[in-house]
Structure 1
């Protein structure tokens, strides 16, 4: 397709062509989904046009319209997402104000600019080579039950020597994941490796009681290293509410996007839900043979996919893609890479202790490998994973680390 770059001249955006085949039509600066303008679709009712005709009409409008006018005309347009593979055009009833920020890059294409932004790192302001600390806050002894001779007993989250505490004026970085994808475990590893608490938008008392004292802190306070969020992927959320999805992303904030095999994440999420929101209890396998589970699974596949794609396609700040399977198989090398992204110095003494204390407080014991999904559910997960995988590779990230869903 042809798009318009920041200086007003048309150029060929091969990336957008590839995405249109799998995901949605976009122009990287301001469009992060298919947007059908008032000239294309009526805003008073959903009109389902042939996909190709809709795409070509949008292209023709973009080609002949200066970029700034396209942005302005989209600011209050209703937004339509085109799922080409699923063959449906889904209407959002909310008016969305689109981002109009355009990077100041004269010689880069839209895709090059997006890649450069996404693959950036966090700029931390260090104090004598350490993360800046606020030593007046509470602390937690990570490995207080170790033998007296263990050096690991001396490490805490927030202390004077050999440790740290609530960071002071740290950049806000969201730790984004579908529920039960290893978010809390990742937080434990980061806290253990840096000595700085992580935060959350949820204020879960059970997590705070386990030593994650940053759980109860304002996520925008600048006192925590990363802040946990599941975005719109809770069961009661409505992924057709595009305005809500955009508001939850906060595109200007950098993020760590934690991805887990959707089948495993959904199984774990169902256990969490049916066990009374416990992160450690098991449930009988018969609970996976109910209509409620299969309805839950079908709903969660779409939420797993849109959580990943929304973050990748709408972000205007660095995004580190963390695969749960990589963290599980090679925790220390993966953790080092994550620390580098966050701009957090490596403490070899802490990492040595992390290597002997990998579990954390919320490991669900007794997990068994089993397959509760129907053929249609597995096919849907494969399609969703394929779309996420294609997007990852087009944006220069590593592909998903698994070839089969379950």
Structure 2
């Protein structure tokens, strides 16, 4: 049976199709317009998805370029204190994989732009852009030291150079008021670059994690620790001093004997029981802070920003660097024991391929 035009039209109407006439087909022009509309909508949806991915969490995924230089810092001075692309660019942090081919792009470390940040030097116009933020999905690294060995100052230098907060297992409210916002952050949160500890317990529980061990002369560190323990007011503990008469007490000499053993065992354990270790000497850090911080950043896998380092060179002291004392109130026997502990740690450091400990007799404080 031959189906006529009228019958075709009736069947299409029953199926819910709309046609303009018995034999009408889609106009080639209308079909082309609809195709362009669909393509435009698809492109728009794609753009929205990409923008949403980049905005969520404040994650920036730009690739490495080597433009973080001093000229860039000079260029920024003209737009100081403005929220520009330059501000964000200067505050980006990049991973540096030492084993990677140099031609490979390097991903930007993810920063959390939803949490509170710290502006480092707001009163210095050329450097007022520099800020410190929490990171995201960072690995744990212990910053180990005997107390009063420059750990907090090292954290300041590292935060300023990298733009990422550091944390501590001790949660000092005093340090938090001074801008160390990482205090109290859980050590496994993945939000800070290193975690301060004077205890070996974290190393024994996590022997596979990287360790940065900061070593200072035991004679100077123990003396500073005695002063810290015997000052009541928190705000004076970091830079204050006790009366020299306290060095002649039995309590002081007992303190020296106990803490010297702790100093020796802290670094002996780290040198014998860690697989990924970076040894830093406080005396070298004082003499050449930027050089030592560069080496530390390399160990952590962070590409240094030359603009940040240029600003850090203008603000090396920080706010918590302790008092420097020239007196050494130790007995002859105590000095012999101190030299013996230094020799033990020095021997182990050489065995691991590290440079020898500094000649501490060269330093007056």
Q: Which residues in structure 2 correspond to 1:68-87 (within 5 Å)?
A: none
Larger helix fraction of residues: 2
State how far apart, in whole Å, the 2-side matches of 1:130 and 1:198 are.
18
Question: Is the CA contact (8 Å cut-off) linking 2:143 and 2:151 kept in structure 1?
Answer: yes
- Which residue number in structure 2 is paired with residue 195 of structure 1? 163
Matched, 1:344 2:298: no
Is the alpha carbon distance of 1:197 and 1:122 closer, same or farther for their aligned partners in structure 2, counting shifts above 3 Å?
farther
Matched, 1:153 2:95: no
State how far apart, in whole Å, the 1-side matches of 2:98 and 2:230 are.
39
Question: Is the CA contact (8 Å cut-off) linking 1:122 and 1:341 kept in structure 2?
Answer: no
Q: 320, 343, 348: which is aligned to 1:391?
A: 348
Instruction: State the Cα distance separating 1:363 from its structure 2 match.
Output: 2.1
Matched, 1:215 2:183: yes
Question: Is the CA contact (8 Å cut-off) linking 2:217 and 2:360 kept in structure 1?
Answer: no
Question: Is the CA contact (8 Å cut-off) linking 1:193 and 1:350 kept in structure 2?
Answer: yes
TM-score, normalising length: structure 2:
0.68
State how far apart, in whole Å, the 2-side matches of 1:154 and 1:381 are.
45
Question: Is the CA contact (8 Å cut-off) linking 2:145 and 2:198 kept in structure 1?
Answer: yes
State how far apart, in whole Å, the 1-side matches of 2:245 and 2:253 are.
12
**Structure 1 segments of 4 or more deviating over 3 A?**
120-123, 126-129, 244-248, 403-406
Cα RMSD (Å): 2.2
- Which residue number in structure 2 is paired with residue 59 of structure 1? none
Question: Is the CA contact (8 Å cut-off) linking 1:325 and 1:401 kept in structure 2?
Answer: yes
Q: 276, 289, 293: which is aligned to 2:248?
A: 289
State how far apart, in whole Å, the 2-side matches of 1:135 and 1:383 are.
49
**Number of residues of Structure 1 aligned to a counterpart in Structure 2:** 261
State how far apart, in whole Å, the 1-side matches of 2:213 and 2:109 are.
22
Is the alpha carbon distance of 1:207 and 1:246 closer, same or farther for their aligned partners in structure 2, counting shifts above 3 Å?
closer
State how far apart, in whole Å, the 2-side matches of 1:359 and 1:210 are.
14
What secondary structure is seen at the aligned counterpart in 2 of 1:363? coil
Is the alpha carbon distance of 1:122 and 1:296 closer, same or farther for their aligned partners in structure 2, counting shifts above 3 Å?
farther
Instruction: State the Cα distance separating 1:290 from its structure 2 match.
Output: 1.0
Q: Which runs of 5+ in 2 are unaligned?
A: 1-96
When Rg is computed on C-alpha atoms for both structures, the one with the higher figure is 2
TM-score, normalising length: structure 1:
0.61
- Which residue number in structure 1 is paired with residue 89 of structure 2? none
Q: Which runs of 5+ in 1 are unaligned?
A: 1-119, 158-164, 233-243
